[in-house]
């Protein structure tokens, strides 16, 4: 396209908080002038959307492919926490994400993962310590210290935790939070340590507690965790302290929409358009000091054209003055990228996941649709055989975690509310350490689903007797290096097939991946055993 051009319409000025008719002139990547002038064009020109917190890895796409899909929906930048690949490959994984992201016209702001491993109650593939944080924070490409999940360490003034925070402060870079359920005095201590955001609030009351102590709240609506309805009213009351984020977005969902969807939903709730738009543009750019234009004279030409400020249907997306998407088509081209991985385990057998009966009650993980938090429930059962099996009548299914980094005995537990009536599903996406996780109705299918992943060194799979499917994820066992739209289509088929086998969850694979996320209460399963997130200790399978 030409390096110099003009666009006219309704100009959304998020700095002055006004909308006016005018003409924008772009030359050499920047907006050189904005002329307020009557025009017959009724389209709206506004800054591009920024996702205030996302793990690109959860899209199962490398950054360059994520960008291809996201720009179609008006996203020009993301605050990207490479925590997932960090747990697999350490600092080399973070640099892989940065290098790949630079190959496309998109503005990734990567963070330095603060908690790798997330806990020492699971086996990760790498560690990012104080020295690695120092190296990362000195890089221009690293914009912040990513979510501080070790909130007990903050409250107990752990020396390593505070060293990492101090490094971020030395480099004048913000520190992101992660403190689900933290309230009152504990919330105050956590925030006063220098932590400025949180995306884990699941009630308005919790968010109000944190806002009171000066924290900014990110309203999260992803493929698994959905807190929009619970928190959106806060945007009316605290418009300068709220941002929108997806956190985790599966590829089939990203094809359908991104932050633009949240904006439309907020408008439908009766919230003023300027408050909504600033929460997805101005607030994020200011907080993270992004090199992203806000549609001001002299700014980089990062903006989008939408039909109206109600549905936010994106007509075109520009980054640095380059048109990167128009009318649903991305102009970002795929780049060839070699996979990197860390996978060292062998196939398992049915005998490896048998559970001898050793009590009258089971400690069961109870998942909740649309939430990362789980409940711990006790389930009485009658002994019908020598080994404990899945109980589809009561929706109590066997769940297995296999260490992907070295040979070890699989960890086995039971989970409620998956709904499967047949077969098994599995994945090497298992937050945060990304070992193999599987859930299923019978042991044979569970083992087959796991062994498919071992064969391909990562992916998401499904097994139902002779029916077997896998979407390979050769990049760290988390991402594909294939075309993003192709990956989304293949994942959609797996998702729909899991639901056809009985799963009642909106996102069964992502819900499964979070069953290993120990830093979110209440009961989870790591490769080392059943873990109580409230007590922060292992508990037995049988009471």
Report pLDDT digits (tens) over 426-472.
Answer: 999 999 899 999 999 999 999 999 999 999 999 999 999 999 999 99
**Separation CA 31–CA 298 (nearest Å):** 5
How far apart are the C-alpha atoms of 54 and 76, rounded to whole Å?
Answer: 13
The reported pLDDT for the residue numbered 1 is 45
Helix (H) or strand (E) holding 244: strand 242-245
**How far is 24 from 5, CA to CA, in rounded Å?**
8
Distance CA 343, CA 404 (A): 6
pLDDT at 250: 93
The beta strand positions in 267-332, using DSSP E, are 303-306, 314-319, 322-326, 329-330
Whole-number Å distance between alpha carbons of 435 and 84: 11
Structure tokens at 86: 């960090």
Q: What is the pLDDT of residue 257?
A: 97
CA 132, 150, 409: angle at the middle one, nearest 5? 85
pLDDT of residue 224: 77
Residue 3: predicted pLDDT: 74
Answer whether CATH 3.30.1390.20 is correct for domain 49-288: no
Which CA distances in Å does 265 have to 229, 271, 542? 10, 9, 44
The predicted pLDDT at position 359 comes to: 80
DSSP string over 40-52: S---EEEEPEEEE
Residue 382: predicted pLDDT: 64
pLDDT along the chain (543 residues), means of 10: 84 98 97 96 97 97 98 98 97 98 98 93 96 98 96 93 98 96 95 97 95 97 89 97 96 97 98 98 98 98 98 98 98 96 96 88 92 90 75 95 96 96 97 96 97 98 97 98 97 97 94 92 96 91 89
Q: Give the C-alpha separation, 161 to 151, whole Å.
A: 9
Tokens of 9: 């319409």
470-511 pLDDT, tens digit per residue, is 999 999 999 999 999 999 999 999 999 999 999 999 999 999
The number of beta carbons lying within 10 Å of the beta carbon of residue 185 is 11
Domain limits of the chain? 49-288, 350-538
What confidence tens digit (pLDDT) does each residue in 154-173 have?
Answer: 999 999 999 999 999 999 99
The pLDDT assigned to 451 comes to 98
> How far is the C-alpha of 228 from the C-alpha of 272, rounded, in Å?
16
Q: Looking at the DSSP assignment, which residues form a beta bridge with residue 329?
A: 326
Q: What is the pLDDT of residue 335?
A: 96
């Amino acid at each position: 396209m030409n390096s110099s051009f003009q666009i006219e319409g309704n100009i959304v000025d998020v700095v002055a908080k006004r909308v006016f008719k005018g003409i924008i002139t772009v030359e050499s990547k920047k907006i050189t002038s904005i002329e307020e002038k009557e025009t017959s064009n009724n389209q709206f020109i506004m800054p591009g959307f920024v996702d205030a917190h996302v793990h690109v890895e959860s899209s199962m796409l490398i950054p360059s492919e994520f960008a291809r899909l996201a720009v179609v929906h008006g996203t020009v930048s993301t605050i990207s926490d490479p925590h997932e690949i960090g747990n697999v490959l350490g600092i080399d994984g973070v640099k892989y994400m940065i290098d790949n992201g630079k190959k496309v016209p998109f503005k990734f702001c990567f963070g330095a993962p603060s908690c790798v491993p997330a806990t020492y109650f699971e086996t990760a593939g790498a560690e990012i310590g104080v020295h690695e944080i120092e190296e990362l924070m000195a890089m221009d490409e690293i914009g912040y210290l990513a979510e501080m999940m070790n909130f007990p360490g903050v409250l107990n003034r752990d020396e390593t935790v505070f060293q990492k925070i101090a490094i971020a402060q030395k480099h004048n870079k913000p520190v992101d939070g992660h403190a689900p359920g933290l309230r009152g005095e504990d919330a105050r201590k956590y925030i006063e340590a220098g932590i400025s955001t949180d995306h884990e609030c699941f009630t308005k009351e919790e968010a109000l507690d944190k806002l009171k102590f000066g924290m900014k709240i990110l309203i999260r609506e992803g493929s698994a965790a959905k807190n929009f309805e619970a928190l959106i009213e806060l945007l009316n009351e605290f418009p300068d302290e709220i941002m929108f984020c997806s956190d985790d977005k599966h590829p089939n969902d990203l094809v359908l929409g991104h932050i633009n969807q949240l904006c439309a939903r907020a408008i439908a709730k009766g919230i003023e358009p300027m408050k909504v738009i600033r929460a997805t543009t101005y607030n994020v750019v200011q907080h993270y000091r992004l090199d992203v234009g806000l549609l001001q004279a002299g700014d980089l030409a990062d903006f989008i054209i939408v039909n109206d400020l109600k549905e936010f249907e994106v007509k075109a997306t520009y980054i640095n003055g380059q048109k990167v998407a128009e009318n649903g088509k991305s102009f970002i081209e795929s780049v060839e990228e070699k996979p990197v991985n860390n996978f060292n385990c062998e196939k398992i057998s049915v005998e490896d996941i048998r559970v001898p009966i050793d009590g009258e009650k089971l400690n069961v993980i109870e998942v909740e649709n649309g939430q990362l938090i789980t409940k711990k429930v006790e389930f009485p059962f009658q002994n019908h055989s020598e080994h404990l099996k899945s109980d589809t009548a009561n929706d109590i299914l066997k769940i297995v975690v296999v260490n992907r980094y070295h040979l070890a005995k699989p960890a086995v537990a039971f989970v409620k509310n998956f709904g499967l009536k047949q077969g098994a599903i599995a994945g090497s996406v298992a937050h945060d350490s990304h070992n193999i996780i599987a859930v299923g109705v019978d042991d044979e299918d569970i083992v087959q689903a796991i062994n498919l992943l071992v064969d391909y060194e990562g992916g998401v799979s499904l097994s139902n007797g002779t029916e077997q499917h896998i979407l390979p994820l050769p990049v760290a066992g988390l991402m594909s290096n294939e075309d993003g739209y192709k990956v989304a289509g293949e994942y959609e088929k797996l998702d729909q097939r899991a639901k056809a086998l009985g799963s009642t969850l909106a996102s069964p694979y992502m819900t499964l991946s979070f069953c290993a996320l120990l830093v979110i209460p209440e009961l989870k399963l790591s490769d080392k055993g059943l873990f109580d997130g409230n007590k922060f200790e292992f508990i037995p399978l049988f009471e």
